Structure 1
Amino acid sequence: MEIHIQIIGSILILLALVHIIFPKYFNWKLELINLSLINRQMMTTHTFFIALTVFLMGLLCISQSHSLTSTDLGKTICLGLGIFWLVRLFFQLFIYSAKLWKGKTFETIIHIFFTLFWTYMSVVFMSVYYA
């Protein structure tokens, strides 16, 4: 199970780094211009802290995979991470509109990839807890 935790950690670090391109890719300079200053700053600040949190989750998974899978505290942390990513999977499937990806090749691939990734993480983390 440790190898799965390390794989997840590596992908989470990559995901965190991808956040760097979000402002340009999503054209935030133009898209956010009509928002109030507080909403613009909340968008960029929250994106930064999401990326930081995802990066730190990845670092934890890579550097402490043994502890996460073999100690009571580690298993409890895995339960929390499993619940976190299960809720994220729920949002992927039921909160985000299918209009965002249906009929768009790149967006559909991304949607499928992240649906599989959120599922994989949820199953791995929950399996560690219940093993």
Structure 2
Amino acid sequence: MIIHFRVIGLLLILLAGSHVVFPWFFSWKEELKRLSLINRQIMTIHTFFIALVVLLLGILCLSSGEELVHTVLGRRLCLGMGVFWVLRLIIQFFGYSPALWKGKRFETIMHVLFAILFSYMSIVFFVAGG
């Protein structure tokens, strides 16, 4: 089980780091101009904090796998993370329009990869939390 926490830790750190390219990749400079100042700032600030939480979860998985598996608090944290990632998996299919990825090679590949990633993390955290 610890190896899964190490893999997830590395994947979460990579996922957090990928947020750095969001403004460029999604053309936020132009896209966000259309929003009010408050909505523009909410988008950028929330993205930063989501990336920070994902980074910290990755570090937690890398540094504290044993504690996550072998303590009551660790198992409760795993259960909570399992709920978080299974909800994220559901949003992957029902929160985003298929029009964003269907018929687009790169977007479809990313959609499938993220679905696999969120499924994997959900399973590992639920198993460790159970």
* TM band (smaller chain): over 0.9
Report deviation, 1:99: 0.4
The separation in 2 between residues aligned to 1:115 and 1:3, in whole angstroms, is 21
Q: Is 1:52 aligned to 2:78, yes or no?
A: no
Matched residue of 1:18: which SS? helix
Give the aligned partner of residue 29 of structure 1: 29
Matched residue of 2:33: which SS? coil
- 1:31-110 aligned within 5 A: 31-110=31-110
The separation in 2 between residues aligned to 1:22 and 1:98, in whole angstroms, is 20
Report deviation, 1:50: 0.3
Report deviation, 1:107: 0.3
> How many residue pairs were aligned?
130
**Structure 1 residue ranges (4+ consecutive) displaced by more than 2 angstroms after TM superposition:** none
Residue identity over aligned pairs, in percent, reads 55
1:79-110 superposed Cα distances (whole Å, 9 cap, x missing partner): 00000000000100111110000000000000
TM-score between both structures, scaled by the size of structure 1: 0.98
Gaps of 5+ in 2: none
TM-score between both structures, scaled by the size of structure 2: 0.99
Matched residue of 1:9: which SS? helix
Matched residue of 1:54: which SS? helix
Give the aligned partner of residue 14 of structure 1: 14
- Alpha-carbon RMSD: 0.5
Give the aligned partner of residue 129 of structure 2: 129
